[in-house]
Structure 1
């Protein structure tokens, strides 16, 4: 009985060490200079064959949501899923904790999940040409975020919490959005040190109620 108990303990210890080793590998993103030398995978099948070696992925799919298998890529730092016809972003996106660059442009997303706030290494967020009406309050957790590209979305307000990024967020692109003067003024109050890019004359006003 004692030998059996010891054997079970050793098995569990081995599993713990194995997973601990996996996650320790993914504890911090690699430097940009090193990242740029990494291969850009365009085939998810090829990426899944070597999950620990995948730092950059450009998906070429047509799907309502990201494939579940993508969350096995624990070292992933750059993810491009542009023009993939995504309707929803899986809450598990927050498990890709090493992401520094996320491009979701040209999809059909209406919102971002609260778990986006778990991407604490994220520096660039591109969500242009979607249907996003609001950003989650958890956007304030992204203290390394320097650039948001949100142009051509029905995004007329920003969460109050985004003011926590006033000293880190350098630019937010809101071009091709029919912002009223008072809406822009409120954004400028929330982000006084951020460059807010807007279109001076926008033909999109007809889509909004008076």
Structure 2
């Protein structure tokens, strides 16, 4: 290969790298109403539909979360949450809640206020019990409780008529 071909090859590879970088950056843009930063989300709280705070080393759920009245999906996976504050109950429009891979031992009874919740991911925590109020989640379709420390479930869980998927492995 002569030096001209080598130079052309380098230019081509660099161009390909730039193209891929821009394409990836565009893919990182999120849908309107979707946020990955709570501070930005709080600038227009009623616009927020999806909040992804996965992997942000959160130790507590920020109280300001209650301002997100139209929030439908909340992703809090892979943090360091040991407890869940009562503010969670104020998210009346929440349909999907991912609390997997945290350090939760219990859930607040305010979880019962999430009447529109359809998906609840609690896998990979340290849950030993569930609140009896779980039966108030009438729209719940999927509940993942895998990899916890549950020995029993509240009998109220039978009241979840719309529950289609229940994961209990490794308890």
Would you say same fold, with TM above 0.5? yes
Q: Which runs of 5+ in 1 are unaligned?
A: 1-35, 178-210
CA deviation after TM superposition for structure 1 residue 63, in Å: 2.6
Pairwise CA RMSD of aligned residues? Answer: 1.4
Distance 1:39 1:55 in 2: 5
Instruction: Find 1:57's aligned residue among 36, 46, 51.
Output: 51
Residues 38 and 56 in structure 1, CA contact (< 8 A), matched pair in contact too: no
Instruction: Find 1:85's aligned residue among 80, 85, 88.
Output: 80
CA deviation after TM superposition for structure 1 residue 77, in Å: 0.7
Q: Do structure 1's residue 169 and structure 2's residue 169 form an aligned pair? A: no
2:35 alignment counterpart: 41
CA deviation after TM superposition for structure 1 residue 40, in Å: 2.1
- Secondary structure (helix, strand or coil) at the match of 1:172 reads strand
Runs of 4+ in 1 over 6 A off after TM superposition: none
Distance 1:92 1:69 in 2: 8
1:156 alignment counterpart: 151
Distance 1:38 1:153 in 2: 35
Distance 1:149 1:97 in 2: 21
Q: What do residues 149-193 of structure 1 show as CA deviations (whole Å, max 9, x unaligned)?
A: 11100112110111111x31111111222xxxxxxxxxxxxxxxx
Distance 1:44 1:92 in 2: 15
Equivalent residues in 2 for 1:111-190 (5 A)? 111-165=106-160, 167-177=161-171
Residues 55 and 77 in structure 1, CA contact (< 8 A), matched pair in contact too: yes
- Secondary structure (helix, strand or coil) at the match of 1:46 reads helix
Q: What do residues 102-122 of structure 1 show as CA deviations (whole Å, max 9, x unaligned)?
A: 000100000010000000000
Q: Which runs of 5+ in 2 are unaligned?
A: 1-29
Residues 65 and 87 in structure 2, CA contact (< 8 A), matched pair in contact too: no
Which structure is larger by alpha-carbon Rg, 1 or 2? 2
Distance 1:99 1:174 in 2: 23
Residues 111 and 135 in structure 1, CA contact (< 8 A), matched pair in contact too: yes
